[in-house]
Structure 1
């Protein structure tokens, strides 16, 4: 009895000792930018662990002398020994050397970066949030190898030109990538119309509806292994946009505000009044004529002592940026949520009250059962855009207007028409370009684990876009002396409705074997998109105040009335096998069906094979050299392309509006082609990935060779058919071959200071390999076999005639006449190489990011933006170096006021010569972001970040035009932006 009691007493003593030594440890984990949710806190050599909540807090039961291990992907692992204190706060240091462990979104599946067999580039919210931009595509510029992005307008809501590894299709519209927002396809086709968007050189980009601050990550899939699972939709690459989601932890509230200004990056160097008038007078003297009564700038009508810098006056204003964001998120281990709202308000650099507003309301909900077998996610986003811009861009006027042109306003504040001697440029601002766009994107995923490793799930999504676009031309744009009443006013209306739905059931299986693992995925895609477009024009209104009411127009014409119905279905599969985590094989395939092709051609099969060898894991290398990671990967496969529009293979008709015997006549617009089929893109890639010194230096070298054939173009037809062309597959082949290099280095990482560098550069060459009967086709002046698609055939400039002072050009065919047949010099406008260099510095609570973008390319020179030197209109200062006397051989040709026909003809030939195309290479300070994290103790535990950001700050170039990257004549280039902001979290 006493022995039993002794055992109980010993057990009681042990229990008492355990209770006295074990305690609840709490604390907060953060980095230099703020608290870190999702950090794993584990007791070393045990299975006991906890995870920090949304506020970075954790709680775990531990004993004195236990070792807590704090680990988080992308950060250095930290170990802390438990003492008598029950509060442990730690700060983790970023560790760029572990980034290969990051999971990459490949669309239908995820894969660790080190195990992927395909080419995927990624940026995260850390890169995106530091850029004061309104379109998500801006955040990708210069940050991804092989991804070329050019902003085509500085006007809010403007367009972008994006090419992933070059131009595959002869048709410009056939090169758009596939955009997926949380798995839902979002049409790359713009809702704008060329008749209404005259203020922009290209149609507005559809991704304007997405707020960059809502994005968690962007992945770009480039090679066949990564894109083949998307079949025809991935022919030109895939852009995967993943929005932010709620995370486990206490409810977290975040609010941020920012405000900034924007200006034109630079102006052209134009003649002042003295130089301009000297040019004009010399031109009349050369021609032997006196100024006419219409030459108001030099005949004494306009003040010869007046000077106005019209670039500053018309496009030199200051645009303002305002952003406000708020979100609430949190949830339990089973259910997480997030609701966010954002508002953006942006004005323009044009005179007047113009602006762009965007509001976004987004929500998501994620749920998993306690046994983790059932999973559900729902996301919704509603976006409203309101864009109010002038109907015309004043950039070209600002360059051409004479520097001594009259004042804009009279003394009473009314517009000055200076006795009808000029068209006051501000009058054009009475015309308006307005758009209102409403976007709904919703998606859901539901899944259930049937057996260990076997999951059945299905994804659903819808999009609904409504777009109303108008452009007005009121009679008030005309000089009042002409007496133009509202009957001369006009309105163009573009109304678009587009709806789509998608359903994608999927079944996946994963099995870990003794020496490897296998993953299988099978699924299907069912998608439909319906759209309507109505474009109408009203002419003559009772009053300008009724100009937006078509019922008040004297006449209304329907310019376009279109209904489309696109159906798409596919079945896809993936097989992945990894042996010893060193040898990886990935097979993907897809059977596509598209309604855009005729019977018998609607279905096609695409697939790819990818393989990787992680040679750094081989025993003869591992832990025995400076090499810490090594991988060779390659892929080959085919994808298709159906970006040709709807009904292109059918006979189509359009109402002519002409009545015959009381019946409206139908006009044929397209011929049927039953052989209309898929474009095919074959892709080959080889790549090396290597890490050195524990991945402090990480290098990726990639080489690709893509060939696109069966080009969908308009095949020229004889004039006797009544049609210029027949839509069909041309046996032409386009090749894109290039090399991509990315380098990440951890230059310094110790204590409170770290410095990392990311560099990427892409060398690419686009070439037309074959084109049957090109010399006799209507494309003979557009393409050249062996050259790139984005070319111009121009005259060869041979210099100035020293006797006449007129430009001369080579007669290439020797027939003694300069004609279009002599435009044989080919100038390639594709960049030879492009890339970016970014550096991230952190010191304590400070963080500085500096990013440079660079491009090696040719472009039209500043002279292409103006007219014939000597005629009415300003010129670049470069024309001051010109021919003045026999024997001169350098500079511009002789000035002419327009009476010297030889000089005028020569200058128009000059426009179409290689002399007007020069080096437009540049290095641009694309982005600078400075962040300071305010100590939490100052704000009673709340988190606050202060940010200063700049975009397009400096450009280093020998180019003398407005912007070397901007290739669109007469429109506003992208702006220079500065913003300051505050972000609070609690």
Structure 2
């Protein structure tokens, strides 16, 4: 009965509507075009699912109704819900995929597939710092990698993830020990100062100092230098890294962008249902390469021949290896024993994100734990937290983006790297431990390398980066912004030197123990207000911005030494030391102010001009030259959009010519360099500690100037399936900031001043990207980057009469090595010979060190490939470098001494005559052989081919089909790092070229990524 009433009521309502509709239509006099029952008049709820060609859901797809402002985003399952009428057309867009339009019709449930479009450069947005620009319309030189490339590598530092992936960016790793640093050069060396070539790092708009607060006296023996602050940036939290290289891209940063700018953008939340993600992997690291050392019999033969050559018989009592004290048949592979362990790494990240079109959030936490290849309890821990909140108002006039990153690191290592011991300990040296487990000193005849395990290096670092960007659209064409940022870095590090590092027979106690303590604090804040204006009329588009920068950086370091402890158990406490001395205490403040502007004009989408400028003021310069102006112009012509090009060359899908020229500065000189400064003398006069002058005042101490010129051609073929970029650049850095030598009568060795010297970097860069195959369920893309740099010292005032005469040569690279010219082995004496350049009858320094060796790379780059087949994905990257470098002879101890050596040393005189690589063996007693050996280590013989091709990383992953589980999506992956190195290099590692430190490790990782 109730259903009958409902049906009757609906019919009555429909009849009433019919009468009303008919009357209304009659009133307006237009009844023939009206159909009351047209389905297009009614909205209904649509449920849709968006996946890629492999069936993997895509989160964050923008789903809108054509001709309407209504829209939504897909969630983590690729699902979306929308109210629409059958006549509506949905538009789906997502970066990296082709735009899709689909009619709604009568469907209430849609399954949509987006086609990937890796060649769509117009949709790729590049971060240029203060503004963004599409890849196709940028006028500057910018290289970029995304989280996809970063996440494919089991690395702890963002710099490690960049290796081999960017043209013009050369990165080398100092050591394979956790917490070690990297060297980075963006288009070569610009400054004659070793500390003046680092790029500017910007994290979410906040400058981040790469200058370490650590002390090399504490960490240098294990980390190869001071600890790097960049290690506190978690690669898993990074969305993209852009490197700005030419003047057009860097001039807006003024003096801070002289050596390039590295922009790090962290991840943000995605709109849609709140999702939980878990990504964890475990990796095992081992030595990628080891040296082929002499075995016991080869070593004993070398030692005996050395004593025979020196005329020593019988063997001395200290020659334990050959006089019978040690077992002459014993053999130990010390590389395996001391550095052949496995470095285990676990990395776990847990994140939660979500939100709607207006407000999105992301919170993630990562914990990383690493061990080392050395024996003992060595470990590195990092815990980091990343937070991001993004909001915009309903009317889209106000928006804000806030991010906070916090990281806490702990590094616990033995004080010294055992690599050198592993390669030099005699192969018949005694065992490391006694039967009772104590260290074996073999009655004082053996310096046990594991004693270094008692001497520890420990550091704790806490790093905070906070940023807030707020913008308000005053009118549709004018936006006001303000960016604020704060960073804080705190470091505490110690090095212990307990009495137990020495043989107990010596009788040292904890009263002889020492503690080295260093603490450092740095904090900075920055405020940058900005106005941005955009307008368009006809074929014209104009964008302009103006802003200002106010930045302050304060730092303090304190170095102390504690001596004498009642017990070694208290050695890590300065308060327990009998005496405490302050070896160094510094406080510094840096202030920086600037105004900057940009004007970008585009006509008809084909002709672009970009003008940037900055007026800088730095507290690091003298009062007469504290301010300077820098600027650049960039131009581009998108000639492929010309009608005559489109008609004549239909297979050319993209073509652009661009050029830029401008100036940037450099203020990376440290604080207070221009002032009269004083230091504590350390001595007492009448019971009072005095001061002594340490630096002279120079009010004209000013900026280095870097003039940059670039021209480039960018091409796309076959709908951008092939993209090629070729660029030529020239950078000239002048007004060099160095120490000018002074007469000794002044009491100072030098004065900091601007020197009339110019360094030039010229080079070619090529980037090739190809879509090799794209079919149903299969795709293969490749990327190649190649850099051909050349560095040269163009001019140097009065070089011949300066203290730099033995370091530089005009017309040559600044990284040349001035060496003796090795000419072979004297057939009569069996010792090395060298060229006598000045013909004075003797080889001496510096007159005869005139052989020039260039250790800059001839070219470098990388080749990467991505292969997708259904749910399988394969990525791999080959890194290559063509260069000369220092081989195993650099730092090699004298052949014949009581130290093991590479098997190369067996190629010696007289066995192989004058063609041998090594002179006659000697224990060091033979004067001529010893002197020749010393020269040999600074001769052309130590330079040889150090080129290599390295399988830098490989990643194989499998995405579990979505239909397997409705609760979560999963991806299982295997990763490898430094798996294969092809090289003719005679040494342990062609990248680091340092035999005293562990090189980058070979790593295998297995992990899983879950999305709930």
Q: Report the TM-score, using the length of structure 2 for normalisation.
A: 0.95
Aligned-partner Cα distance in 2 for 1:809–1:945: 61
Aligned-partner Cα distance in 2 for 1:517–1:45: 23
Matched with 2:972 is 946
Aligned-partner Cα distance in 1 for 2:916–2:908: 7
Aligned-partner Cα distance in 1 for 2:106–2:870: 28
Aligned-partner Cα distance in 2 for 1:947–1:790: 42
Matched with 1:749 is 774
Aligned-partner Cα distance in 1 for 2:285–2:798: 50
**Deviation for aligned residue 1:127:** 0.6
Q: Any conservation in 2 of the 1:379–1:444 contact (CA below 8 Å)?
A: yes
**Deviation for aligned residue 1:65:** 8.4
1:147-184 deviation digits (Å, cap 9, x = unpaired): 00001111101010001000000011100110000000
Aligned-partner Cα distance in 2 for 1:620–1:888: 69
**Deviation for aligned residue 1:80:** 5.2
Aligned length: 986
Aligned-partner Cα distance in 1 for 2:451–2:950: 36
Q: Any conservation in 1 of the 2:97–2:117 contact (CA below 8 Å)?
A: yes
After superposition, residues 123-162 of structure 1 pair within 5 angstroms as: 123-162=145-184
Matched with 2:132 is 110
Structure 2 residue runs of 5 or longer lacking an equivalent are 1-15, 26-30
Matched with 2:763 is 738
- Pick closer, same or farther for the CA change 1:862–1:93 going to 2, 3 Å: farther
1:464 aligns to 2:495 (yes or no) = no
Decide which moves more: 343-352 or 717-726.
Answer: 717-726
**Deviation for aligned residue 1:15:** 3.6
Q: Any conservation in 2 of the 1:805–1:886 contact (CA below 8 Å)?
A: no
Structure 1 residue runs of 5 or longer lacking an equivalent are none
1:98 aligns to 2:152 (yes or no) = no
Decide which moves more: 59-68 or 645-654.
Answer: 59-68
Matched with 2:469 is 445
Match of 1:957 among 966, 977, 983: 983
Aligned-partner Cα distance in 1 for 2:122–2:417: 47
After superposition, residues 630-709 of structure 1 pair within 5 angstroms as: 630-709=655-734
After superposition, residues 30-429 of structure 1 pair within 5 angstroms as: 30=52, 32=54, 34-42=56-64, 49-62=71-84, 68-78=90-100, 86-197=108-219, 198-290=221-313, 291-429=315-453
Aligned-partner Cα distance in 1 for 2:45–2:591: 62
After superposition, residues 707-718 of structure 1 pair within 5 angstroms as: 707-718=732-743
**Deviation for aligned residue 1:900:** 1.8
**Deviation for aligned residue 1:72:** 2.2
**Deviation for aligned residue 1:25:** 3.6
Q: Any conservation in 2 of the 1:251–1:329 contact (CA below 8 Å)?
A: yes
**Deviation for aligned residue 1:37:** 2.2
3-state secondary structure, aligned to 2:485: strand
1:788-842 deviation digits (Å, cap 9, x = unpaired): 1112100111111122221111001101110011000111111111000000000
Aligned-partner Cα distance in 2 for 1:18–1:886: 95
3-state secondary structure, aligned to 1:863: coil
Matched with 2:6 is none
1:686-718 deviation digits (Å, cap 9, x = unpaired): 000000111111000000000001111111111
**Deviation for aligned residue 1:969:** 4.0
Aligned-partner Cα distance in 2 for 1:955–1:356: 26
- Pick closer, same or farther for the CA change 1:16–1:690 going to 2, 3 Å: closer
Matched with 1:485 is 509
After superposition, residues 802-951 of structure 1 pair within 5 angstroms as: 802-820=827-845, 821-884=847-910, 888-951=914-977
Match of 2:535 among 511, 514, 525: 511
1:974 aligns to 2:1000 (yes or no) = yes
Matched with 1:548 is 572
- Pick closer, same or farther for the CA change 1:801–1:432 going to 2, 3 Å: same
Aligned-partner Cα distance in 2 for 1:412–1:505: 69
**Deviation for aligned residue 1:251:** 0.8
**Deviation for aligned residue 1:552:** 2.2
**Deviation for aligned residue 1:891:** 2.9
- Pick closer, same or farther for the CA change 1:628–1:441 going to 2, 3 Å: same
**Deviation for aligned residue 1:659:** 1.6
Aligned-partner Cα distance in 2 for 1:56–1:249: 9
Q: Any conservation in 2 of the 1:28–1:35 contact (CA below 8 Å)?
A: yes
**Deviation for aligned residue 1:725:** 1.0
Aligned-partner Cα distance in 1 for 2:163–2:232: 18
Q: Any conservation in 1 of the 2:473–2:480 contact (CA below 8 Å)?
A: yes
Matched with 1:570 is 594
1:424-467 deviation digits (Å, cap 9, x = unpaired): 00011110101000111111011111111101110000011110
- Pick closer, same or farther for the CA change 1:605–1:296 going to 2, 3 Å: same
Q: Report the TM-score, using the length of structure 1 for normalisation.
A: 0.97
- Pick closer, same or farther for the CA change 1:537–1:13 going to 2, 3 Å: same
**Deviation for aligned residue 1:844:** 0.7
Aligned-partner Cα distance in 1 for 2:42–2:415: 78
**Deviation for aligned residue 1:673:** 1.2
- Pick closer, same or farther for the CA change 1:33–1:664 going to 2, 3 Å: farther
Aligned-partner Cα distance in 2 for 1:4–1:929: 68
Decide which moves more: 929-938 or 461-470.
Answer: 929-938
After superposition, residues 545-624 of structure 1 pair within 5 angstroms as: 545-622=569-646, 624=648
**Deviation for aligned residue 1:890:** 3.0
Q: Any conservation in 2 of the 1:55–1:249 contact (CA below 8 Å)?
A: no
Matched with 2:12 is none
3-state secondary structure, aligned to 2:222: coil
Q: Any conservation in 2 of the 1:324–1:342 contact (CA below 8 Å)?
A: yes
- Pick closer, same or farther for the CA change 1:720–1:480 going to 2, 3 Å: same
Q: Any conservation in 2 of the 1:40–1:52 contact (CA below 8 Å)?
A: yes
Aligned-partner Cα distance in 2 for 1:509–1:843: 46
RMSD: 1.9
Q: Any conservation in 1 of the 2:457–2:494 contact (CA below 8 Å)?
A: yes
- Pick closer, same or farther for the CA change 1:48–1:446 going to 2, 3 Å: closer
Decide which moves more: 33-42 or 737-746.
Answer: 33-42
**Deviation for aligned residue 1:863:** 2.3
- Pick closer, same or farther for the CA change 1:719–1:34 going to 2, 3 Å: farther
Q: Any conservation in 2 of the 1:400–1:866 contact (CA below 8 Å)?
A: no
